[in-house]
Each structure stands twice: as structure tokens, then as C-alpha cells.
Amino acid sequence: MADTLAVSQRSNRNRRSCRYRWKWVPSSAATLEATETKILRRVNTDYEGRFVSLGESLGRLWTVTFNPTNSEKTPFVFVHGFGAGVALWAKNIAPLCQQRPFHAFDLLGFGRSSRLKFPRDDAAVEERYIRSIERWRVEMKLDKMILVGHSFGGYLVTSYALKYPDRVKHLIPVDPWGFPDAKLPILSRAIGTVFTGRNGAVLSILRVAGPFGLDIMNKTRRDLREKYSDLFDDNTITNYIYHCNVQYPSGEKAFSTLSESLGYAKRPMINRIEEMRKDVPITFIYGRDTYSIIDPSVGEKIQEMRHDAQVEVFIIDNASHQVYADQPTKFNNVMLQICKDIQ
């Protein structure tokens, strides 16, 4: 484990007592890689992992690919949510990659991808993310994609589809963040500023806690450990999330720039979705017990708004925000149903 407590003892000729100094050895890229590898090996499916270079201004996206040889079918491209990484798709990869290639990458500022300094303008931040996805597609030599995004990733893949509809065979936002339009009073906005961490580091407690951060993560996110208990009976998953988030908070700051008070988006997607080209099929997947700011009814509203386009909404019972991990069998079956006729 990379995060350890090292105790150094200093002698003092004038004093018999010992002086101790706590030293924090921070998370390393090697530790994150090892933890991710441990998780992905449980998939029991060969995969390729590589950094895809996007050019000097965009850095690199860490990418994993399963079943790359089945190139005749439109590939899945999975995009994780806030504070996450590619390994959290571990319960979905094996069933889905049997049907077509499966790609997943760490968003800029998260996981093992480059941690750039983002602009402070929300439109510019969103544009940089969209440009990185498009550049990644070009480098991967993909013509069209079944584009799947969870939470923050759901917001970004929808924004991408608005700009590059020709590249999206089917759009699947999963419990997507940033869709509802919250009309908040000034007092609520002020309160929200405190709780959403306008300093751009909503996970900063993990870093401030130093050597105790990992213990905090393991104790406060036992729900994540439980979601993956069929794969691991230890803290592997929470360790992975910890090491994803104790590095420079590039992605956190970008998310903060895009966020309004109380966690809503400054540019809510429900106000922009009508700009989506009508021939882009959209399927929403929600957990019945998700967070209030996600609001599954938004998917149904969009279905009404786009009555002349293909829009479907699936709500999975006994699932919260991490619907793909809470009910993986149901989620995977829905995914296969959506894509059964897509070549």
C-alpha cells in the first residue's frame, strides 16, 4: 500500500526522550495501476490497456479495451462518473463484451488520465471535455459508438452527441448528472456554495487527512465495498476509489466549474436536449432509489419533448445511483436489449 506512516526517531544528546515525526507517503501511479489491475483481472477476460495521446494541449486518456477483434459491430464506449474510473465497470464488462468491442477510458482529470489545469469558464471546460472525447475517437479509429455515460459521464456524452451526432449510434445516459433545471433562491444558492465545495475540491478531505484518508474512505464508503462484495471481500474497491482521488484534483475543479449550487449543473441538459438531432436514439437508465438531484422524471419529460424521436426510459428497481453495480444483471440485460439490433 502506497499510503503508509513512517516514524522517524531523532536522538537529542541533551534529552533522553525521543522525538517522532509523522511522514505521509502519498499515493503513486504504480499503486493505482496495481489496484486497477487487481479489479480488472476478476473480469476473467483478456484486455488491452494503453494511454491514448490526444496532443500536448489535452494530454492522455487511459483506455482499456475488451474483445477488440470483434470489429464488425459498433463498439461500446463507457464513460465513468465523478471521482470514478474504468475499473468500476468490472461487473458489466464480461456479459457485454461478448457481443461487441468494449472500450472504457478515464476522463481527463480522473483515474490514470492526464490531470490538466482546466479553464475557469464552464463553457470552456465542457468544450475541452468534448474535444478530448472526439480526439480519443479519432485516435482509436472508431467510426461510430454506442456511447454510455454514468452520472457526470452521462452529462458529457450527451454534450458530445449534441456536437458530433454522426459519431453516435446510440446514446445511453445512465443515472445522468446535470439534466434537471433547478430554480434556486439566493439563500439556497449561498448554502449550496458551502456544501458543494466551490474551491473545486469536494473530495479534499481525503487529501487533508493525509495518512488517515484511506481509513476514512474505507469506513465512510462501505456501501461501495458491499456493491462489489461478490468480487472482493476486502477493501479493494474503496482503495481504488481512494487512489483515484488523492492526486491533484484536476477533474474535481472542472466539475466544480460546471456545477451550480447544491450540485446542479449551470447549463442543465434538459434545456439543451431539443437541439439534439432527431435521428440520435437515446435511452435513459435510472436506479429507482437514486439521488434527488438526478431525478428520473427528467428522462420521461425528455421523452415527451422528443415525441417524434426515439427516446426510451428504463428505471431499475432496488438500485441507487450506481445502478450498474447495484443490479448488474438487470443493467446488463437492459443494455443487451437496447443494442440487440445494432450492428
Domain residue spans of the chain: 42-203+249-339
**Mind listing the pLDDT tens digit for each residue in 296-339?**
999 999 999 999 999 999 999 999 999 999 999 999 999 999 99
Q: Which residues pair with 47 in a beta bridge?
A: 66
Report the chain's C-alpha Rg in angstroms: 21
Q: For residue 107, give every residue at least 6 positions away whose Cβ sits within 8 Å of its Cβ, in sequence order, or none.
A: 61, 79, 80, 113, 129, 132, 152, 153, 156, 251
pLDDT of residue 27: 57
Residue 336 near residue 95 (C-beta atoms within 8 A): yes
> Residue 108: what residue type?
L
What pLDDT, on a 0 to 100 scale, did the predictor assign at position 262? 76
Does the domain at residues 42-203+249-339 carry the CATH identifier 2.40.30.10? no
Q: Which three cell numbers stand for residue 260?
A: 451550480
pLDDT in tens, the chain (343 residues): 333 222 223 333 333 333 333 334 355 789 999 999 999 999 999 999 999 999 999 999 999 999 988 778 999 999 999 999 999 999 999 999 998 999 999 999 999 999 999 999 999 999 999 999 999 999 999 999 999 999 999 999 999 999 999 999 999 999 999 999 986 444 344 434 333 443 344 577 888 887 788 888 888 889 999 999 999 999 999 999 999 999 899 999 999 999 987 789 999 999 999 999 999 999 999 999 999 899 999 999 999 999 999 999 999 999 999 999 999 999 999 999 999 999 9
pLDDT of residue 14: 37
Report d(CA 296, CA 291) in Å as an integer: 9
d(CA 227, CA 340): 27
CA pair distance 198, 281, nearest whole angstrom? 35
SS3 266: coil
- Choose among 220, 197, 236, 224: nearest CA to 321: 224
CB 80 within 8 A of CB 153: yes
Which three-class secondary structure string do you get for 292-322? CCCCCHHHHHHHHHCCCCCEEEEEECCCCCC
- CA-to-CA distance for 216 and 198, rounded, in angstroms? 22
